[in-house]
Structure 1
Amino acid sequence: MRWEEFQVKGEQLLAKVKELVHQGNIRRLVIANEDGKTLVEVPLTVGVVGAVLVPVAVAIGAIAAIVTDCTIRVERSDGSGA
């Protein structure tokens, strides 16, 4: 497994999460505030992504409304093309 980090503004948060999930091979998604405190952590497996994405998108939208800067951390599966 490997981790990647992305720094985004609050208003860009939901769009970036959707982009990352669409790319695939993400096993875990973590959103942290500018102080590094984890705000949401979601495991994403291939079979669960569709069912989980809608309520997660609502939660991420609420987070985006209250934070100015945040960090998205994604755990990717090794061996995939991303």
Structure 2
Amino acid sequence: MATKESFSLNGEHLLKKVKELIAEGNVRKITITDKSGKELMSFPLTIGLVGVLLAPVLAAVGALAALVGECTITVEREEEETPKQE
């Protein structure tokens, strides 16, 4: 089961926020939309996506941040499974 969460922010804070979300580790997918709701970028995050594989994604996010004013990040998180009590 996954949950979604959205953040509205300015382009200058976009890269920092994306890095924070990736560091959390429970994010499955990040989608970036402009203020009119048009999807600008979307990328899945898998457990094995680190270092060299992540660099091009962060470079693209940085370039996008320079071009957009206000945007929204939608984060799809993996819900932590809680043990069922009997």
Same fold per TM (> 0.5)? yes
Unaligned runs of 5+ in 1: none
Q: Greater CA radius of gyration, 1 or 2?
A: 2
TM-score normalised over the length of structure 1? 0.91
Correspondence for 1:14: 15
Q: Deviations over 1:29-72 (max 9, x none)?
A: 10111111111110101012434321011101111111100000
CA distance in 2, matches of 1:3, 1:49: 22
Counterparts of 1:37-56 in structure 2 under 5 Å? 37-56=38-57
Query: Aligned partner of 1:63: which letter?
Result: L
Structure with greater proportional helix content: 1
Identical aligned residues as a percent: 49
- Structure 1 residue aligned with 2:60: 59
CA root-mean-square deviation? 1.2
CA distance in 2, matches of 1:51, 1:45: 14
SS at match of 1:42: strand
Length, aligned pairs only: 80
Q: TM (normalized to structure 2)?
A: 0.87
CA distance, structure 1, for counterparts of residue 30 and residue 52 of structure 2: 15
For 1:76, what is the secondary structure of its paired residue?
strand
